[in-house]
Amino acid sequence: MNQKTTVISKEALREQQEICQKIREYWNARGITPVAFVDTYGCQQNEADSERIRGMLEDAGYGLTNTEEGADVIVINTCAIREHAEQRVFGNVGALVHTKRRHPGQKIFVCGCMMGQPEIAGKMKNSYHHVDGLFSTHHLWEFPSLLYKALMTNKRVFATEDSAGSIVEGIPVSRSNGLKAWVSVMYGCNNFCSYCIVPYVRGRERSRMPEDVIAECRELIEAGYKEITLLGQNVNSYGKDLEIGVDFSDLLAQIAEIPGDYLIRFMTSHPRDASKKLFDTMAKYPTIAKQLHLPFQSGNDRILKEMNRHYDSAKYLELVRQAREAMPDLVLTSDVIVGFPGETEEEFEDTIKMIETVGYDALFTFIYSPRPGTPAAKMPDPTTKQEKNRRFDRLCDTQNRISSERHRAYVGKSYRVLVDGKDGDQLTSRTEGGRLVRFAGSDELIGQFCTVRITESTTWSLIGALE
Ligand code: 5AD
Ligand code: SF4
């Protein structure tokens, strides 16, 4: 694998902007206002990438639509983290054959993490002939030239070669929401957890320069955004590659000092690099949400070692203690995998113990999915699918009970919430800790902070009344 990060030059990006202009002229000459449909699978990083794809499409004169039917270009941004996501992508891309038949000029692109796996990209190239172009995350910035080539030559275009990844400033972003924004602080991952495909498909860790991140946050806050989520596969290793003595806590503090009424969140924190400095920084600034997503993955030390996680359950619990000491109202969420190869019943019980001990507000639970090319995929895995499903159900039941208990403790108290939309005749909002609160109120409150008193709770959400 080529280990060098490429910083894409301003000139190279300007060239792409010029190509966008040429695409506009192409459509103008035909008297057509083209429309594009971008479909996203997977995590927030992919959502953020899709916002950049939409930004480039808008630059090229495309309007955005939310259906593949009749779209002039379709971009499917894929996820490779579990087999299930990949199967859905293959199924849905396959079905586009019919959509394209009804709209023959349609150009179909598939991009994202699946295109970082040579065998998967090969399968897409060889068996899905109605797909016009493929590109991996490293080549996202070149999308205008790929699209232009496909339009001009009617040939298929591919940009999926391996690389350690690029870093690009200045791609236009079309944000789907005027209230909440994603801001990537870094790309890639160096951790190589033994089950995970991400380091192979998103390349090595590379941090954006602090001044670029801070400037983007400042612009968003000045434009009226109320919530910014800083993104990275492992934000706590931010800055290591820059070697300028700025770590994630320093970056967070500088952003939190921007004047305005807003909240900053971030994800994901790897326990390996989470520190007291981070918790103290979170505690210090009212603009930083007291919410931490700290994946533990397993409560068993042997499994953690096999997962290559670089911490044990004692270290993890000590981090939780420190975090709660700094922020008594902290909302804590996590990711956990059941059925890792060779996980015994007793080892699984350690995971149950961990969630009982910590008492998470919410948990993202996954059944282990073998990813070809990762070390865990070669480990013996004698546990049956039924047994893994049983463990998964037990885990979910336990967490649901804990979530309900924690939610019940909200009842009777008042919280500041950010109103983000409507569901039926109720407004939807989020507490600082990210808990969903529904309440009755006027539409004018959407986009504003207000205070609600919690009157009822369920496993997944809270019900309140405006104060
Ligand atoms: N199987 C199941 N879950 C996985 N995750 C990552 N890789 C796998 C896999 N192969 C989970 C981890 C990670 C989250 C984003 O997805 O819990 O934190
Ligand atoms: Fe995957 Fe581990 Fe990196 Fe997270 S930290 S993206 S789980 S390799």
What are the residues facing 336 on neighbouring strands?
297, 365
Q: Is 296 in the pocket of ligand 1 (CB under 6 A)?
A: no
**CB of 289 closer than 6 A to ligand 2?**
no
Give the model's confidence band at 12: pLDDT under 50 very low, under 70 low, under 90 confident, else very high: confident
Query: In degrees rounded to 5, what are phi and psi of residue 29?
Result: -60, -25
**Residue pLDDT, tens place only, 169-197:** 878 888 878 899 999 999 999 999 999 99
Euclidean distance between CA atoms 174 and 165, whole angstroms: 22
Asked whether 341 lines ligand 1 (CB < 6 A), one says no
pLDDT at 2: 42
- Span 323-348, mean pLDDT? 98
- Which atom of ligand 2 approaches the CA of 197 most closely? 1
CA of 297 to the centre of ligand 1 (A): 8
Measured in angstroms, how far is the CA atom of residue 294 from the centroid of ligand 1?
13
Cβ neighbours for 163, distance < 8 A, ≥ 6 positions apart: 2, 4, 6, 138, 203
Task: Tell me what pLDDT residue 166 has.
Answer: 73
Q: Which atom of ligand 2 is nearest to the CA of 268?
A: 4
pLDDT in tens, 128-185: 999 999 999 989 999 999 999 999 999 999 998 766 667 778 788 888 788 999 999 9
Distance 448 CA to ligand 2 centre (A): 35
The pLDDT tens digits of the residues spanning 34-62 come to: 999 999 999 999 999 999 999 999 999 99
> Which residues, in sequence order, are bridge partners of residue 9?
none
Cα of 243 vs centre of ligand 1, distance in Å, is 29
Report how far residue 312's alpha carbon sits from residue 297's, in angstroms, rounded to the nearest whole number. Answer: 11
If you ran DSSP here, which 8-state letter would residue 156 be given?
Answer: -
Hey, which of 201, 205, 233, 304 would you mutate to test ligand 2's pocket, going by the most ligand atoms within 8 Å of its Cβ?
A: 233
What pLDDT, on a 0 to 100 scale, did the predictor assign at position 8? 80
Q: Does ligand 1 have an atom closer than 6 angstroms to the CB of 256? A: no
Which residue CA neighbors atom 2 of ligand 2 most closely?
Answer: 193
Name every residue whose Cβ is closer than 8 Å to that of residue 63 and which is 6 or more positions away in sequence.
Answer: 33, 34, 35, 36
67-102: per-residue pLDDT in tens? 999 999 999 999 999 999 999 999 999 999 999 999
pLDDT at 1 over 50: no
Q: Which of 46, 298, 336, 366 to mutate to test the pocket of ligand 1 (most atoms within 8 A of CB)?
A: 366
What would the pLDDT profile of 242-258 be if each residue is shown by its tens digit? 999 999 999 999 999 99
State both tokens at 386.
């039924």
Q: pLDDT averaged over the chain?
A: 95
Instruction: Kindly report the pTM of this predicted structure.
Output: 0.93
Q: Residue type for 233, please?
A: Q
Between the CA of 100 and the centroid of ligand 2 the distance, in Å, is 36
Sequence-separated (6 or more) residues with CB below 8 Å from residue 53: 38, 75, 77, 111, 140, 143
CA distance 381 to 342: 5
371 pocket-lining for ligand 1 (C-beta < 6 Å): yes
- Could you give the CA distance from residue 185 to residue 235 in angstroms, rounded to a whole number? 7
Q: DSSP of 305-351, one letter per residue?
A: HHTT-S--HHHHHHHHHHHHHH-TT-EEEEEEEE--TT--HHHHHHH
Is residue 349's pLDDT more than 90?
A: yes
User: Could you identify the atom of ligand 2 that is nearest to the CA of residue 81?
Assistant: 1
Distance 337 CA to ligand 1 centre (A): 7
Q: How far apart are CA 297 and CA 276, in angstroms?
A: 21
Q: What's the per-residue H, E or C state across 445-459? A: HCCCEEEEEEEEECC
Is 198 a pocket residue for ligand 2 (Cβ < 6 Å)?
yes
Q: Which of 53, 94, 101, 57 is nearest to 77 (CA)?
A: 53
Helix boundaries (H) for 60-141: 83-102, 118-127
Q: Considering only CA atoms, which residue is closest to atom 4 of ligand 2?
A: 233
Decide: 368 in ligand 1 pocket, CB within 6 A: yes
Contact 422, 446 (CB under 8 A): yes
Residue nearest to atom 7 of ligand 1 (CA): 196
Q: Which residues pair with 39 in a beta bridge?
A: 76
Report d(CA 233, CA 295) in Å as an integer: 11
Q: In terms of Cα–Cα distance, which of 335, 388, 90, 300 is closest to 198?
A: 335
Residue closest to 135 by CA, chosen among 169, 154, 163: 163
Q: Does ligand 1 lie within 6 Å of residue 366's CB atom?
A: yes
User: What CA–CA distance (Å, rounded) separates 244 from 231?
Assistant: 20
Q: What is the tens place of the pLDDT at every residue in 394-409?
A: 999 999 999 999 999 9
CB of 136 closer than 6 A to ligand 2? no
Centre of ligand 2 from the C-alpha of residue 220, in Å? 28
Q: Which atom in ligand 1 lies closest to the alpha carbon of residue 369?
A: 1
Question: Is 173 touching ligand 1 by the criterion CB < 6 Å?
Answer: no
Task: Calculate how far, in angstroms, residue 191's C-alpha sits from the geometric centre of ligand 2.
Answer: 6
Residue 171 Cα to ligand 2 middle (Å): 26
What 3-state class would DSSP assign to 354? Answer: helix
- Write the residue with the smallest CA distance to atom 1 of ligand 2: 196
191 lines ligand 2 (CB under 6 A): yes
